[in-house]
Every structure is written in structure tokens, then in C-alpha cells.
């Protein structure tokens, strides 16, 4: 009799656990989304992301799945990746990682942003993008193919070398112009001046630029430069007003 009782108990115990397991496996919590929280968006205002995701109101939000909301936000050109999580049954939190704007490019009457990972995306005046160097081109280059070209690589590598060598110097460059011969010219904001670069800023030239800026330009802040010529291998030519010294 005792063995029968133990057997019945074990059968019931196993049956109850099987039922509980199946119930837990099939259980889906009820979510009624009413609120969306976006985190880590320093460049893109929240309202811009919400508009891009086509979330017009709470009714629209509640009709969308969490996966679809995250997917829409992640498709924004200034979003690298997005991850969603539930705060509670009514609130979803989406944490994003944004692209890093590097320079602005004025090309064929369009404003483009080159990112640190070498992508070109359209500029958006609603975003919080400030004080980027601007790359301009002579009129003769208006029909040149920019993306995935040698010129594109040249522009990116020259600016990257300078940025990695001396970020402070990089930040006072207001413009980099490319002429029809693919020669580069930098324009400084403080002090105002023009730097003739030549074909590229390699790592060695970036170091020379940095040293000259720190040892000569910064120590003589009152000087105004018509141009500083870095096109030669064995000398730097500087013109102050109407005087040239080597």
C-alpha cells in the first residue's frame, strides 16, 4: 500500500511539473506599449528619430512590435546600431550608438557628411553637428566620381592622419579645398591663414604640420599669414603680408 502511495505521488508530481513547464514555455507576457525612451542619442534629437520611425502617436506605438520599433530606428543613417529592452509592460527603451561625423563635404551642390568609418551620408540641419571642417572642390571637379574613388581615399586619409597626429590643430581647420590637380589647401580659423599642402597629408607631413603649428604659429598669435607652404620636402615657406621668409 505504501509503495502504491509513493508511486501515485511521483506520477502526480511529474504530471504537475510537466504542466507547469508547458505553461511557462507558452507564456507570453502582455505588453501594451505606450511609451518609448531613446537613450544615448547625442546627435539625433529624439523627435527626429520618432518621426523617422513613423511613430505618430501612442496608438501607432501600441500597434508596433518591439522588434519593428528597434528595426526602424536602426535604419536611420546616423544610427550604427540599436538595442531594445522593456522597462515595464508599457515602456520600451531603445539604446542607440550613433555614427561619428568627421567632416562635411560640399559636392555638386549637396552637403554630405563623411563619418569616421568612411561612409558618406546626407547632411541633416536638424541634427546636432557642429564645427566640422568643410571639404570643397574647384569648379573643374564638379563631375568627378567621389565615392569609392582614389580622391575620396586621399581626402579621408589626409584628414585622418592630421586628426590622429594633432586633434587641436585639426579642430581649427575650417576648410580643405581640392583643386583641379588634386592639390590640397587648408584654411585655418585662428589665426587666419592658408596652408598649401600639395598632394596629400601623410603621417610625416602631419607631424611637421603639428610641430610648426605649435612651435611657430601658437607662439606668435598676433601674426597674420597669407600662406604657409608645405609642398616642398626640404623647406617650409611662410608669407606674412608682403614679406616672404624661408
Domain residue spans of the chain? 1-98, 101-245
Quote the pLDDT of residue 138. 85
Total-model pTM: 0.77
Dist CA 153 CA 52 (whole Å): 31
Q: Report the distance separating Cα 128 and Cα 111, nearest Å.
A: 15
Question: Cell 616672404 belongs to which residue?
Answer: 244
CATH match for 101-245 among 3.40.50.11690, 3.10.20.600, 1.10.340.30, 3.30.300.20: 3.40.50.11690
Confirm whether 1-98 and 101-245 share one CATH topology. no
CATH H-level superfamily of 1-98:
membrane protein fhac (3.10.20.310)
For residue 21, pLDDT over 60 is answered with no
Average pLDDT, the chain: 84
Specify the pLDDT at position 46. Answer: 94
Are 172 and 205 in contact by the 8 Å Cβ rule? The answer is no
What pLDDT was estimated at residue 180? 86
Read off the pLDDT of residues 26-64 as tens digits, 9 standing for 90 and up.
Answer: 545 555 778 889 999 999 999 999 999 998 888 888 888
CA distance 193 to 224: 7
The beta-strand segments (E) located in 110-220 are 110-115, 120-122, 134-137, 173-178, 184-188, 193-198
Kind of pairing between the strands at 101-107 and 173-178: unpaired
Q: What pLDDT digit, counting tens, does each position of 121-159 carry?
A: 999 999 999 889 999 988 777 667 776 678 889 999 999
- For residues 85-100, give the mean pLDDT: 90
Amino acid at each position: 500500500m505504501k509503495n502504491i502511495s509513493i508511486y501515485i505521488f511521483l506520477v502526480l508530481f511529474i504530471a504537475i511539473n510537466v504542466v507547469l513547464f508547458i505553461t511557462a514555455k507558452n507564456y507570453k507576457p502582455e505588453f501594451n506599449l505606450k511609451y518609448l525612451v531613446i537613450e544615448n542619442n547625442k546627435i539625433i534629437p529624439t523627435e527626429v528619430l520618432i518621426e523617422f520611425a513613423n511613430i505618430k502617436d501612442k496608438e501607432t506605438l501600441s500597434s508596433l512590435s518591439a522588434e519593428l520599433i528597434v528595426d526602424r530606428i536602426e535604419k536611420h543613417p546616423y544610427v550604427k546600431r540599436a538595442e531594445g529592452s522593456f522597462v515595464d509592460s508599457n515602456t520600451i527603451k531603445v539604446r542607440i550608438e550613433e555614427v561619428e561625423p568627421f567632416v562635411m563635404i560640399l559636392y555638386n551642390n549637396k552637403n554630405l557628411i563623411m563619418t569616421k568609418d568612411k561612409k558618406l551620408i546626407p547632411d541633416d540641419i536638424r541634427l546636432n553637428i557642429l564645427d566640422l571642417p568643410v571639404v570643397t572642390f574647384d569648379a573643374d571637379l564638379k563631375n568627378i566620381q567621389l565615392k569609392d574613388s582614389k580622391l575620396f581615399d586621399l581626402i579621408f586619409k589626409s584628414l585622418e592622419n592630421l586628426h590622429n597626429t594633432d586633434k587641436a590643430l585639426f579642430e581649427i581647420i575650417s576648410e580643405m579645398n581640392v583643386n583641379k590637380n588634386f592639390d590640397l589647401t587648408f584654411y585655418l580659423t585662428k589665426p587666419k591663414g592658408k596652408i598649401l599642402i600639395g598632394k596629400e597629408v601623410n603621417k610625416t607631413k602631419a607631424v611637421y604640420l603639428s610641430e610648426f603649428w605649435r612651435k611657430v604659429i601658437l607662439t606668435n598669435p598676433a601674426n597674420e599669414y597669407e600662406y604657409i607652404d608645405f609642398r616642398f620636402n626640404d623647406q617650409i615657406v611662410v608669407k606674412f603680408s608682403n614679406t616672404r621668409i624661408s
